[in-house]
Amino acid sequence: MTNTIISTNPATGETIWEQPVGDADGHVKAARGAWAEWASQSSTYRIETLRRFANIVRGKKDEFAALISSETGKPLWETATEVTAVINKVDISAEAYFERTPSRNKEGDLSEQNSLRHKPHGVLAVLGPFNFPAHLPNGHIIPALIAGNAIVFKPSEKTPATGEFLVQCYHEAGVPEDVIRLVVGGPDQGKELASHDGIDGLLFTGSVRGGMALHQQFASRPDKILALELGGNNPLVVWDSPDLDATAAIIVQSAFMTAGQRCTAARRLIIEEGKHEELLEKLRKLIERIIVGAPDEKPEPFMGCVIDNRSAEAVTDGFLDLMMKGGNPIAHLKRIEDDKPFLTPGLIDVTGIEKRADEEIFGPLLQVIRVPDFATAIREANNTRFGLSASLLSGSPDLYNQFWANIRAGIVNWNKPTNGASSAAPFGGIGLSGNHRPSAYYAADYCAYPVASAEAPSARAAIKTGLKDPEF
C-alpha cells in the first residue's frame, strides 16, 4: 500500500503534485457531523452559495484549465471547455432540482391533503474519473449539494491536483469544509470509502470493471443509493451521407477527441459495403493531418496524449491484437515516443474478424465494420453489451427514424458526433453502460428521495365494522 499519491504531467513526466493518502474514515465522520446543518438551509441559500462557486471558477478559468491540461495531457482548447462546463453546471442543476424534485400538495376530504416533498440522503461519496477530472465529478457534486447532501470526494489517483483545486473553490465560495471533504488516495482508499457504513450512497463515473465491482459490493445494501456512469462500445453508422468531408470530420470528432478517452467516443464505424472506399480515403487523409502533442505546443494540437504509459500500452496492445486476428490497418496506431503516452490515431477494418470482442478500448482507436444493408447496420450497432451512445450520419430522415426506433442506447444522435451530449438533458446508458440512472439533468433524481405524506390538521377516525358490541 502506497502512503503517498504523486501526480505527474503525462506529456512531460514531471511531478506536479504530491500528498500523503487521506483517512477516508475521518472524512466520512466529519461530513456526517456537518450535513444536517447544510440540509437545514433553504435551497435558495445552497444555490446562491454554489453560484458564488461558479463565479470563483470563472475568475480562475485560465489557471484551472492549465492545471487540468498539465495533469491529463489534454489540449488547452479542450480543458477550457471543461471549465466552462463546471461553471454552467450550477444553473443547469438548479433548474433541474426545481423541475425534478418539486413539492406538491393535493387537497383531499375534510381538510386533508397529500403532500410530496424531497429529502437529501445524507452523506454521499463521489469517485471521480481521470478523463474529465473536474466536469464529471462536479456533475455529481453540484446536484447533491443543492439537494442538501454532504460529499466525500475521492478524485482519481491520476488527477488528484484537479480534484483538490475543485474542492478549494467550493470552500472559497462558502460551502463548509466538512460539507465537502477531499480524500486523497488510490484504489485502497476508494474501496474503504465505498464500503464505509457512514455513507448513504455512492456516485461513480468510471470503468465497467469498477462499476461491476461496486454493483456486487452494494448488492447486499439496498438501503444505499448507487449511481453508475460507465463506458460504451459506441457505434457510429454512416449511410447515404451526402457530404463526405463533413462526415469525415464528425467521425474524427467522435473517435479521437480527448485522445479517444471519452465514454461516449465512437469505437465502431459501421459503413455500407461497396460505398466505403471514398469515405475511408478521406478519413485516412484527415487522420494524417491530426496534430498530436503537448498542451503548450504550437501549433496547438487537436489531440493530446492518453493518461499514462500503461494506458498507451493497453491501447497499442489492443490494436496489435486486432491485426493478429485479421484486421486490416487503414491508419496505423503508433507510439510517438517510447517513454511518453502519445499515440497517433488508429483506424482498422475488422470486418473479416468473425468473433470481435465487445470491449471498450479506451483510446484513439476506431474499428471499421462493413455491412451489406441498413438492417444489418442496426443489428451490428446493437451487437454489444453496452448501450451508451450511438449516432447516424445520413441525409435521410426516414433512415434516422428507423435508426432511432431500433437502436439501444441512452444517447442517439443524427448527423452529430457520438460524444455530443447536452448537460441540459439526461445522460446515461443501458446495459453495461450504467444502472439506468441517467446523470446530467436527471442527477436530481438520485440526490434526493421523495417523501409522500398524508396530512390532516387534527385526528379524525372511527372503526365502524369488525368490532364486538361494547360490554356494559
Grid coordinates of 404 = 432511432
pLDDT of 422 reads 87
Answer yes or no: is 422 within a domain.
no
pLDDT by residue (tens digit) across 62-83? 999 999 999 999 999 999 999 9
Q: For the residues 327-331, what does the mean pLDDT come to?
A: 98
pLDDT of 460 reads 86
Residue type present at position 230: L
Answer yes or no: is 461 within a domain.
no
Grid coordinates of 418 = 457520438
Grid coordinates of 185 = 488516495
Q: Are residues 271 and 341 in the same domain?
A: yes
4 Cβ neighbours under 8 A, 6+ residues apart? 18, 19, 20, 21
pLDDT of 1 reads 52
Helices vs strands, H then E, count in the chain = 14, 21
Answer yes or no: is 175 within a domain.
yes
Portion of the chain with pLDDT greater than 70, in percent: 99
* Ramachandran angles phi, psi of 155, nearest 5°: -70, 165
Q: Are residues 254 and 313 in the same domain?
A: yes
Residue 387 contacts residue 408 (beta carbons within 8 Å): yes
Q: For the residues 184-200, what does the mean pLDDT come to?
A: 96
Q: Are residues 165 and 245 in the same domain?
A: no
Answer yes or no: is 293 within a domain.
yes
Q: Are residues 119 and 18 in the same domain?
A: yes
Give 109's pLDDT tier (boundaries 50, 70, 90). Answer: confident
Q: Are residues 303 and 376 in the same domain?
A: yes
Q: For the residues 294-300, what does the mean pLDDT come to?
A: 94
d(CA 158, CA 362): 15
Answer yes or no: is 90 within a domain.
yes
Q: Are residues 75 and 169 in the same domain?
A: yes
pLDDT by residue (tens digit) across 306-320? 999 999 999 999 999
Q: Are residues 284 and 166 in the same domain?
A: no
Answer yes or no: is 47 within a domain.
yes
Q: One of 157, 164, 192, 263 is an active-site residue; which one?
A: 263
Q: For the residues 363-392, what does the mean pLDDT come to?
A: 98
pLDDT by residue (tens digit) across 135-153? 999 999 999 999 999 999 9
Q: For the residues 88-96, what does the mean pLDDT come to?
A: 97
Q: What is the domain extent for residue 346?
A: 234-414
Report the mean per-residue pLDDT for the chain: 95
Pairing of strands 104-107, 439-440: unpaired
Q: For the residues 374-380, what does the mean pLDDT come to?
A: 98
Answer yes or no: is 421 within a domain.
no
3-state secondary structure 291-342: CECCCCCCCCCCECCCCCHHHHHHHHHHHHHHHHCCCEEEECCCEEECCEEE
d(CA 440, CA 354): 37
Which residue reads 504509459 in cell numbers?
A: 309
Report the range of poorest mean pLDDT among 147-151, 193-197, 460-464: 460-464
Grid coordinates of 80 = 477550457
147 Cβ neighbours under 8 A, 6+ residues apart? 97, 101, 118, 120, 444, 447, 448
**pLDDT at residue 89 tops 90:** yes
Q: Are residues 187 and 72 in the same domain?
A: yes
pLDDT of 297 reads 94
100 Cβ neighbours under 8 A, 6+ residues apart? 441, 442, 444, 445
Using N-to-C axis directions, what is the helix angle for 43-59 and 61-72, rounded to 10°? 80
Count CB-CB contacts under 10 A for residue 1. 8
pLDDT of 176 reads 98
Q: Are residues 173 and 48 in the same domain?
A: yes
pLDDT of 423 reads 86
Alpha helices in 178-302 (DSSP H): 187-194, 208-217, 244-256, 277-289
Q: One of 229, 272, 360, 380 is an active-site residue; which one?
A: 229
Give 457's pLDDT tier (boundaries 50, 70, 90). Answer: confident
Give one DSSP letter per residue of 125-157, joined into a string. Answer: EEE--SSSTTHHHHHHHHHHHHHT-EEEEE--T
d(CA 142, CA 159): 19
Q: Is 63 a catalytic residue?
A: no
d(CA 189, CA 21): 8
pLDDT of 111 reads 76
Domains contained in the chain, number = 2
pLDDT by residue (tens digit) across 366-375? 999 999 999 9
pLDDT of 471 reads 72
CATH assignment of the domain containing 362: 3.40.309.10
Better-predicted residue by pLDDT, 457 or 446? 446
pLDDT of 228 reads 95
Q: Are residues 70 and 146 in the same domain?
A: yes
pLDDT by residue (tens digit) across 417-426? 999 788 889 9
**pLDDT at residue 472 tops 60:** no
Cis peptide before 417 (omega within 30 of 0): no
Q: Is 263 a catalytic residue?
A: yes
